[in-house]
């Protein structure tokens, strides 16, 4: 039975049986791993709150070799990142980030750069506008997982961008002449294309410190459509965020 250790982030969990929990981590050394935390749902569990979503810590596990699931020995909290769970908006945007990582990476496929990007993104979200942090993260996560859309030319005919009425498909931009022949494309304005280019290339602190203005909503739609194409379903976090917005609008109308 092999012992493993790594820095890791909790990216998901669900209950198992009476008192256990299956927890998904994204770890620096091993990439995405899933394991059973025995008795973690008991009141005086030794895991005591350590397995909350987005928590960064030091993971120690046993790999029995008999199952895909590891046996989690302990998880020592390094950064609880509790603020991400204290507002529904932060919770929704941070969930979108971890969903992206969860869906676009394979089990036990190490990706240290993506681990660094994820922990930096989650830390930034404690203090910076969550929508902007999430977009910056997802734009870079697509790049790092090999799904970087091409933005400098039409992927069908090779004509150089910009195009006044461009669309975005799986591989990248499609010009207005090629678009009618292709299904499932989403419109993207030249301003949003330029903003997306900046999100994935400019220094992180600059990106986080600069408002996106009117392109923010458009970029969320474009990146959501891109993720939906890649994972074969709309991200669950997007539905959650839509519901949060709807409820806060109702609350605002009543006030």
Q: Where on the chain is the footprint of Zn ion (CB under 5 A)?
A: 154, 156-157, 175, 178
Q: Please count the CA atoms within 13 angstroms of the CA of 121 that sit on its side-chain side.
A: 31
Cβ at position 223, least distance to Zn ion in Å: 22
Q: Which is nearer to Zn ion, 154 or 237 (CB)?
A: 154
Least gap, CB of 157 to Zn ion (angstroms): 3
CB of 148 to Zn ion, least distance (A): 19
Question: What is the SS3 string spanning 28-90?
Answer: CCCEEEEEEECCCCCCCCCCCCCCCCCCEEEEEEEECCCCCCEEEEEEEEEECCCHHHHCHHH
Q: Name which of 183 and 203 has its Cβ closer to Zn ion.
A: 183
CA distance 220 to 88: 17
Nearer to Zn ion, 73 or 170 (CB): 170
Nearest to 34 by CA among 81, 70, 63: 70
43 or 158, CB closer to Zn ion? 158
Q: 178 or 188, CB closer to Zn ion?
A: 178
Please state the φ and ψ torsions of residue 70, each to the nearest 5 degrees. -85, 170
Closest CA to 199 of 111, 115, 136: 136
Q: How far is the CB of 227 from Zn ion (least distance, A)?
A: 23
Whichever of 1 and 181 has its CB closer to Zn ion, that residue is 181
State the Cα torsion 106-233-222-203 to the nearest 10°. Answer: -20
Instruction: Rank residues 193 and 238 by Cβ distance to Zn ion and give the closer one.
Output: 193
Backbone dihedral angles phi then psi of residue 94, each to the nearest 5 degrees: -65, -35
Taking the complex as a whole, the smallest distance from the CB of residue 178 to Zn ion amounts, in Å, to 3
For residue 231, the minimal CB distance to Zn ion (Å) is 26
In order of 49, 53, 254, the CA distances from 43 in angstroms are 10, 18, 39
Q: How far is the CB of 154 from Zn ion (least distance, A)?
A: 3
């Amino acid at each position: 039975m092999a012992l493993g250790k790594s820095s890791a982030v909790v990216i998901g969990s669900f209950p198992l049986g009476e008192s256990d929990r299956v927890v998904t981590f994204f770890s620096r050394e091993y990439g995405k791993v899933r394991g059973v935390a025995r008795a973690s749902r008991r009141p005086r569990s030794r895991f005591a709150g350590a397995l909350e979503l987005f928590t960064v810590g030091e993971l120690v596990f046993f790999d029995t070799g008999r199952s895909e699931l590891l046996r989690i020995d302990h998880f020592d909290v390094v950064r609880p990142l509790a603020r991400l769970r204290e507002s529904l908006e932060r919770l929704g945007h941070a969930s979108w980030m971890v969903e992206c990582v969860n869906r676009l990476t394979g089990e036990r496929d190490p990706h240290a750069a993506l681990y660094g990007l994820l922990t930096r993104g989650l830390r930034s979200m404690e203090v910076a506008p969550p929508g902007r942090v999430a977009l910056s993260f997802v734009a870079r996560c697509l790049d790092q997982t090999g799904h970087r859309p091409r933005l400098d030319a039409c992927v069908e005919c090779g004509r150089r961008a910009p195009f006044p009425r461009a669309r975005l498909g799986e591989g990248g931009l499609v010009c207005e002449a090629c678009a009618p022949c292709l299904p499932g494309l989403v419109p993207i304005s030249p301003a949003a294309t330029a903003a997306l280019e900046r999100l994935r290339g400019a220094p992180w602190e600059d990106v986080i410190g600069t408002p996106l203005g009117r392109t923010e909503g458009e970029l969320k739609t474009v990146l959501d459509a891109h993720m939906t194409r890649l994972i074969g379903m709309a991200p669950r976090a997007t539905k959650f965020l839509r519901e949060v917005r709807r409820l806060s609008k109702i609350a605002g109308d009543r006030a």
